[in-house]
Amino acid sequence: MKESAKGLTKKEIVDLLEKNRDHDCDGIGRDKICVRIVAIADLPSKYGQFQAVAFFNNRDNKEHAALVHGNVIDQEEVIVRLHSECLTGDVFGSLRCDCHDQLVAALRTIGKMKMGVLIYLRQEGRGIGFSNKIKAYALQEEGLDTKEANIALGFRDDEREYSVAAHIVKSLKIRSVRLMTNNPRKITELEQYGIKVTERIPLIIPPNKYNRFYLETKEKKFGHLLEDVAERFNEQMDAPLFKRGKP
Ligand SMILES: [Zn+2]
Ligand SMILES: [Zn+2]
């Protein structure tokens, strides 16, 4: 039997797409965002067997994504990770933030579980976009402290992404979630949008040669790759939690 048979079945996919075709609710949260599922396909990855679920957003045309592992429909206590898009970190492996490590740790963990979902929110730099994010990095180089640069990056404005995530959880017919986060505030906010959160699971990042530098910078001198990075940005709103040990 194909491993993908453990995911959403063909019939469930057809039903979901059918139900979503004309979906247009009042939306969730401050910006009244409504999303609907427009396509689902297998997405085997090096982190496990997933199905990619594509969402159309009727308010601002952002194409959000969910990577589903196992069958989550009508299930309780599904592990969910919310990840905000970070082109520089996710794709380029930037050391200015922990996004790449957090993304990989989440996918690896979910890929080993019976079921889980990574919700990938297409809101670079908290929705301010790539250009503004790079501008904020430049401001930091000009001497802005991390707090000022964080505000410039728009980190205060994270209301929208949780409402979109809440809608995505509902679209996937997930009954309750175990949220993978080191930030309890994310749970409070999801609950405000009507999502039942039964547990918080810490996201623990395994050590590698880069975050070892991050851990040890106070004790040792910076590695050459990090010498221009005064302080890393916490772009996922999740304080990094590292597993100690050898990289
Ligand atoms: Zn809706
Ligand atoms: Zn990042």
Cα distance between residue 92 and residue 106, in whole Å = 18
SS3 153: coil
Catalytic residues: 158, 160
Residue 247 maps to a domain: no
Residue 189 maps to a domain: yes
Residue 129 maps to a domain: yes
- From first to last of the 247 residues of the chain, give the pLDDT tens digit: 444 448 999 999 999 999 999 999 999 888 888 999 999 999 999 999 999 999 998 777 789 999 999 999 999 999 999 998 999 999 998 888 888 889 999 999 999 999 999 999 988 766 678 888 888 888 878 887 766 777 776 665 544 568 899 999 999 999 999 999 988 888 998 999 999 999 999 888 776 666 655 555 434 444 444 444 556 667 777 776 766 655 5
- Closest ligand to the CA of 126: 2
Distance 244 CA to ligand 1 centre (A): 42
Residue 17 maps to a domain: yes
Q: Which pLDDT belongs to residue 233?
A: 67
- Residue 172, CA atoms < 13 Å, CB-side half-sphere: 37
Distance 98 CA to ligand 2 centre (A): 6
- Closest ligand to the CA of 89: 2
Q: Which pLDDT belongs to residue 21?
A: 95
Q: What is the CATH number of the domain that holds 138?
A: 3.40.50.10990
Residue 195 maps to a domain: yes
Dihedral (CA of 154, 159, 164, 169) sign: positive
SS3 226: helix
Chain position carrying tokens 């221009």 = 228
Q: Which pLDDT belongs to residue 25?
A: 93
Distance 244 CA to ligand 2 centre (A): 22
Distance 84 CA to ligand 2 centre (A): 8
Distance 168 CA to ligand 2 centre (A): 22
Which residues have CB atoms below 5 A from the ion given as ligand 2?
86, 89, 97, 99, 235
Number of structural domains in the chain:
1
CA 12 distance to own-chain centroid = 24
- Closest ligand to the CA of 137: 2
Q: Which pLDDT belongs to residue 19?
A: 95
Residue 174 maps to a domain: yes
Backbone angles phi, psi at 70, to 5 degrees: 75, -175
User: What dihedral do alpha carbons 39, 42, 44, 49 form, nearest 10°?
Assistant: 110
Residue 170 maps to a domain: yes
Residue 219 maps to a domain: yes
Closest to 40 in 3D by CA, of 76, 4, 78, 75:
4
Which pair of tokens denotes residue 111? 């890929």
Q: Which residue range forms the structural domain that includes residue 89?
A: 3-242
Q: Are 97 and 233 in contact (CB under 8 A)?
A: yes
Distance 115 CA to ligand 1 centre (A): 24
- Closest ligand to the CA of 83: 2
